[in-house]
Structure 1
């Protein structure tokens, strides 16, 4: 169980920040490799993994967060972007686990948002910086961010691609994606923790599993952020779309086989 928790923590850390859909991989890996532990499928373990990702993003963007004190407007815009995300999340949450975690849905979303990434990169002219964005741009980013609740979408993928469509420079696109993501990832962590404690009651998770999952998610999360920032500078964002197409192919092959 410890090894599985470390594997799932690594998957959460890498795929939360790379534009390849963490929710899809966290559904698919246990599905393909037959992870059967109820603890690893519990809301408490989900909260643990989100906690590791949250620490990773705060540590990586610490300097940017400190600078926010001097940019009150950006703080307000980040809050503004969170409003449509939270509203849509509230509407989607009741049906998410029942209807949207099916692997066929994941495969379809992997394809749809791969195409979205390809279109966004082609249209990006890299004209603007974050401070050039208007309030309605942040609302648009918040709406698009909410789609990441559907497995197969990718929060970082859809927000970076959406920033590309707004002609934001590549490095600024990555920065704004994760700055607007901090409130959402924080909310996901608190929501899963609340659900684990008050709805499902506190599920007993071994200390070794907690430490393994959160450290793995933290370490691989920071690694993913380093990779993404360096990758964006040198290579095309579209390479991630090709990987997503490959995963979609594996999904539909599995569906066809069964």
Structure 2
């Protein structure tokens, strides 16, 4: 993997990760166009490290807002922690459950079949992009004059469960789905945006740990030396730094469009990209 390829992937990831257009779908398609295999442990680790860069961008961007809304008092903090923890637990239950079902269907119960092997399937990515696009358009076009600031525990759990549905499917935007769900529930745009990205910050570390273990297992099976393993991390660390910078720019764009009522435009974009990806799939790319 060349430094130019890392720069391109980091720029795409940083821009798309924090917009509701599925960064994974964009990065996978770009990787395939550059001749890279998105199903390898090295690539999945790079994808996760790019997510790490954007996670730090999220923390920096939302920190002041979180202090005012979620950390304003001891009671509010306890309530927020409870909502985030329960939502994340439901994300894990739903996500891992779906992961097992998909692997069983796709690989016929074979023990070595992992859902990551499907991450390069453009047909599945196209379908997931279309589903996310439709949800975003519906939520964006809905007009709710009485937006609520407070998120109930039941609503937080519902958003967490929906986030779990996104995990096994590259193309089904996590932020697009969770923010759209909040809008459909009648929640204030800024509040649901802050809650959605708070969930992302909590979810990212265990995903990173899983991919690191997956990479180490793959390298162990190949009897690779420790030096080679260290070399594999350097591209990911460089990409993380670049995606952090691109993520800050993307967050300003997302917040601006969300507040201005332009959320549905992201849905139209997802539908357009879905059509392009489907065309690539049909021609056997």
In the superposition, the TM-score normalised over structure 2's length comes to: 0.81
- Cα deviation for residue 207 of structure 1 reads 7.0
Q: Indicate if the aligned counterparts of 1:48 and 1:214 stay in contact, CA closer than 8 A.
A: yes
Moved more, 76-85 or 209-218: 209-218
- Matching residue of 1:91: 97
**Aligned partners of 2:247, 2:42: CA distance in 1, in Å?**
20
- Cα deviation for residue 100 of structure 1 reads 5.6
Residue 265 of structure 2 is aligned to residue 239 of structure 1:
yes
Deviation string 1:133-168 (CA, Å, 9 cap, x unpaired) is 221111110011112211111011001100011011
- Matching residue of 2:18: 17
Residue 2 of structure 2 is aligned to residue 28 of structure 1:
no
Report 1:1-258 matches (<5 A). Answer: 1-35=2-36, 41-67=42-68, 68-69=70-71, 70=73, 71=76, 72-94=78-100, 95=103, 96-99=115-118, 101-131=120-150, 133-149=151-167, 150-198=169-217, 200-201=219-220, 203-205=229-231, 209-258=235-284
**Aligned partners of 1:103, 1:35: CA distance in 2, in Å?**
14
**Aligned partners of 2:188, 2:67: CA distance in 1, in Å?**
22
Over 3 Å counting, the alpha-carbon distance change for 1:38 and 1:161 in structure 2 is: closer
Structure 2 counterpart SS, 1:18 = coil
**Aligned partners of 1:78, 1:197: CA distance in 2, in Å?**
30
Over 3 Å counting, the alpha-carbon distance change for 1:13 and 1:135 in structure 2 is: same
Structure 2 counterpart SS, 1:106 = helix
Q: Any gaps of 5 or more consecutive residues in structure 2? A: 104-114, 221-225
Q: Indicate if the aligned counterparts of 1:47 and 1:190 stay in contact, CA closer than 8 A.
A: no
Structure 2 counterpart SS, 1:61 = helix
Highest Rg: 1 or 2? 2
- Cα deviation for residue 198 of structure 1 reads 4.7
- Cα deviation for residue 129 of structure 1 reads 3.2
- Cα deviation for residue 122 of structure 1 reads 2.9
Deviation string 1:9-32 (CA, Å, 9 cap, x unpaired) is 122212111000012112111112
Deviation string 1:20-74 (CA, Å, 9 cap, x unpaired) is 0012112111112323699894343234222212211111122244453422211
**Aligned partners of 1:42, 1:98: CA distance in 2, in Å?**
11
**Aligned partners of 2:63, 2:24: CA distance in 1, in Å?**
25
RMSD: 2.4
Aligned length: 257
**Aligned partners of 2:256, 2:98: CA distance in 1, in Å?**
34
